[in-house]
Structure formats: C-alpha cells, structure tokens
A = this chain, B = another copy of it.
Amino acid sequence: MTNPSNSEIDIVKSSKSKIKDVDFNNLVFGRIFTDHMFVCDFIDGVWQQPKIMPYQAMSFEPSARVFHYGQAVFEGMKAYKDENGKIWLFRPDENHKRINKSAARLAMPEFPRDYFLNGLETLLKMDKEWIKSGIGNSLYIRPFVIATEPAISASPANSYRFIIICSPAKAYYSGKVRVLFAEKYSRSANGGVGFAKAAGNYAAQFYPTALAQEKGYQQIIWTDASSHEFLEEAGTMNIFFRINDSLVTAPISDRILDGITRKSIIQLAEDNGITVEVKRVPVTEIKEAARNGSLKEIFGAGTAAVISPISAFEHAEEVFEIPDNEDSYASLFKKQLLEIQHNVSQDKHHWRHEVK
C-alpha cells in the first residue's frame, strides 16, 4: 500500500483556546483535553491525508465495528516541558513500535512512523501552552486506532481512524496503593492478546477490580490464568518486587505488556548496580519473603502512574503489610526517571526526544 505525499498535515486551528478554563492544580486524570487533536483515516488500504483540527465530537455509524467487536488499540505517552520551555517526549519510538504490534495482533493496519511522529510533534507544538513545566506535571498523550467500517460482520474492518488526543496530567495515582493478588479472575490467556494494548483487555478488568475495591484494594495483581500461582502484571502497570536488594519482575510474554517504564527501570537498576532478576514470580515466594522480612518493596510501573509504591497485598484471605522503606527503589527510580524525562539529568541512553 502507498501513502500520500509524505505526511503533510492538513491543519485547522481552534478559534479560541479553552486553556483559561482549566485549573491545572486540580486535574482529574483524562477528563480535560487540549485544543486540538490529530486524525488520520485508513480507507481502501491507504492512510489518508492526516489532519489536525479542534478537539471535537465526531460522527460514527452505530454499525461501526469498534462498537461491536472491540477492534481498537491504544498507547499512553507523556510530553514534558523543561525549565527553558523545551518540550520532550520519552522513548516515543517504543510507543510507535508497540501500537503497531498491538494493531497487528488485532488484524489492524500499521501506522507509518513519519505520520506518527510528525503528527504528534505538530500537535504538541500547537498545544504547547498545555504542557506545564515542573516535575510531576506532564501532558498525557493518547494515540488510538478504532475500526470504523459500518458493517457488523465479525471480521477485520476495512476502514480505521487513528486519533491522538492529549490531556494535562499530574501523577495518576496519589499515595500508596493496596492490592489483591488474583485467585479466580484472569486478565489474559496464553495465546491471547494480553501483551497488546487492546481495548478489550481493560474493560475485562473493571468488574474484578470493582470487587477488589469493595474489599479495600485499589488494584489487582493478575496471576497466570492457568494456575494463578505466578504474579504477572497489574493491568495498567507492570509489577516489581524488591527482595532484599534484588529487583524481581516477570518476563514479558504473550500475556504481559512490554512496558516502556518497565524496561527503563530494568536499565536504571543496572545503571545503579542493582541486581535484576527477570523470572516467573511465584505467589508463594512473595508471601514467604513478606513473612521472613526479605520483601522490602512492591511497586507498579507504567506511563500514567510512573511508579506506584504498594503498601500491602492480600492473597488467600491473608493480608501482608509492607513496611515503609526510607531508601526505597520506588523513590529512587521515580526520581531518576522524572529527572531524565524533564531534562534535569543526563540522558545516557538517549531516551529523551526533543520536540522542535
């Protein structure tokens, strides 16, 4: 398939910014969107002319396939502004590769790299006032692709829409979270779509998570669906365990998302001389470590939440409290990550990408 002239964007500017109505000190995650959005349609085997237009509602046929069969994938990214007003992305190529990996698993077309980066950067420059400097502030970026073909046969659509919307954000979770280890419900199957950022993976977690919340837990740590004996991920975060001074996390698989924050933390741990074990994590091992005091920390890692320290977990009706840790790895990695992202510290792995 061919694409039209490079990735030249058709731009319609918003006549008036909404930014004055926004209280940047009291942001709820994902409710407020910037002035513009990026839109590109896939029709007859070709990505059409990309557009940037005022953020607005769009018209869809009720038969659009996304409504019926969940043919939809997304990404989560952030843009940061440093003290000199420069705008930065964090490893954006990884997001581009992953949305295409997700798309392929859902039988959707891949989106060209130049469309992705040029579209995103142009959008960020237009909405740059929405990116606030200061560590902890960011602009959350949501690229997503949905099947738009107006026909309800259960097969891949022949038309799609790629969209990027942006929402100003503070850290996703505030404070420590208590989690429940899954014993009955599951997030993903061997040979399934758990590794993809497929829309349907998320709704499937809402009910079990609501049950966990009734018991006083904010999140579930999912275990493998076959045995429920191995800890995998948290659905919106990968999970790390600190046993004494080693960091342990599950390997990626067809059930577990290849998190960009996850792999950055593994690299940072190595940079800090911390031993990392990427291996299957038995529930029994974590419980035993909690009992004998060698479990020092559990934390989640993901773009939205950055790093979420976990203060307690429950499994088989038994609750384990994790004592506070003065020199926690969670704090260390969060500080190091944020400083790289905000152009405060050196970027030895070339993760930062300036939006010029």
Interface residues in chain A, defined as those with a beta carbon under 8 Å from any beta carbon in chain B: 28-31, 33, 37, 55-63, 66-72, 74, 104-107, 142, 144, 146-147, 150-156, 163, 165, 167, 182, 184-193, 198-207, 209-210, 225-226, 228, 235-236
| Among A59, A62, A193: residue with most chain B CB under 10 A | A62
Stoichiometry, copies per complex: 2
**Which residues of chain B come closer than 8 Å to A68, judged between CB atoms?**
72, 74, 142, 144, 199, 202
Bound CA span A76–B225, Å: 28
A113 to B144, CA, bound (A): 35
By the criterion CB–CB under 8 Å, are A153 and B29 in contact?
yes
- Is there an interface contact between A62 and B70, defined as CB atoms closer than 8 Å? no
Select one of B191, B200, B235 contacting A203, CB under 8 A.
Answer: B200
Which of chain B's residues have a CB closer than 8 A to the CB of A31?
150-151, 153
A33 to B316 Cα, complex, angstroms: 50
Say whether, besides A62-B165, A107-B210, A207-B107, A199 and B202 are in contact (CB < 8 Å): no
User: Given the interface contacts A68-B74, A206-B107, does A190 sit within 8 Å of B55 by beta carbon?
Assistant: no
Tell me which residues across on chain B come within 8 A of A28, comparing CB atoms: 151, 153
List 25 contacting pairs A-B, 8 Å CB cutoff, sorted by A: A31-B150, A33-B62, A55-B62, A57-B59, A57-B61, A57-B62, A58-B60, A68-B72, A68-B202, A70-B70, A70-B72, A70-B200, A71-B202, A72-B203, A107-B203, A107-B206, A107-B210, A154-B202, A155-B206, A187-B189, A189-B192, A198-B203, A199-B199, A225-B225, A225-B226
Task: Determine which of B30, B63, B186, B190 lies in contact with A63 in the assembled complex, contact meaning CB atoms within 8 Å.
Answer: B30
Q: Which residues of the partner chain B approach A209 to less than 8 Å between Cβ atoms?
A: 155
Q: Is A191 a contact of B184 with CB atoms below 8 Å? A: yes
Most buried by B among A68, A107, A142, A147: A68
Cβ–Cβ < 8 Å partners of A225 in chain B: 189-192, 225-226
How far apart are the CA atoms of A235 and B155 in the complex, in Å?
11
**Which among B62, B155, B226 is the interface contact of A37 at CB below 8 angstroms?**
B62
Query: Do A71 and B30 touch (CB < 8 A)?
Result: no
Complex Cα spacing A55 to B62, Å: 8
